[in-house]
Structure 1
């Protein structure tokens, strides 16, 4: 249950939407009332709660603030998949690249 002091690990838009929906319900707010507080349409709230991925980050943060949800970020050693992290990206050796290019001539 999402309430004061609870830490949730949210990794997807669907999980974020579910957390927003749960907190909205805990506060006894309907989608229309939350939309008015945030300054968005009810449709936007519906889409966010469904996990649609095209929501503007500023509006998401405003929604979380309206619900009393704070955001904390944490890092992992390897990132989500271990790919595309500085340690996982192999830097090419320029001498090897030049040697291969010369060998082709």
Structure 2
């Protein structure tokens, strides 16, 4: 599944957690966060700390593939992700 929004990511996390028959509290303990954090990430909370999101993906066995290989989409070049702009925007929101 191509994840484009925080809500997409939350849906993937929620679906995997349920498939593994884990409740939110158990997942929270595995990640080292509160149950409320799990609830928020599953609802697409856009300000989740990246390190915690990566820890959640690892705890659920969800691989993260960030390869830059072009995809076959009608001959167009893949969209580039400007990670610096994403981080700057996130920092602005915290101020």
TM-score, L = length of structure 2: 0.72
Match for residue 19 of structure 1 among 5, 12, 28: 12
1:79 is aligned to 79
1:3-82 matches, cutoff 5 A? 8-75=1-68, 77=77, 79=79
The TM-score, its normalising length taken from structure 1, stands at: 0.65
Count the aligned residue pairs. 74
**Structure with max Cα Rg:** 1
Residue 79 of structure 1: SS of its match in structure 2? Answer: coil
Superposed CA offset, 1:24-52 (max 9, x none): 00000000000000000000000000001
Where has structure 1 moved over 3 Å in runs of 4 or more?
none
How many angstroms apart in 1 are the aligned matches of 2:7 and 2:29? 22
Q: CA RMSD in A?
A: 1.6
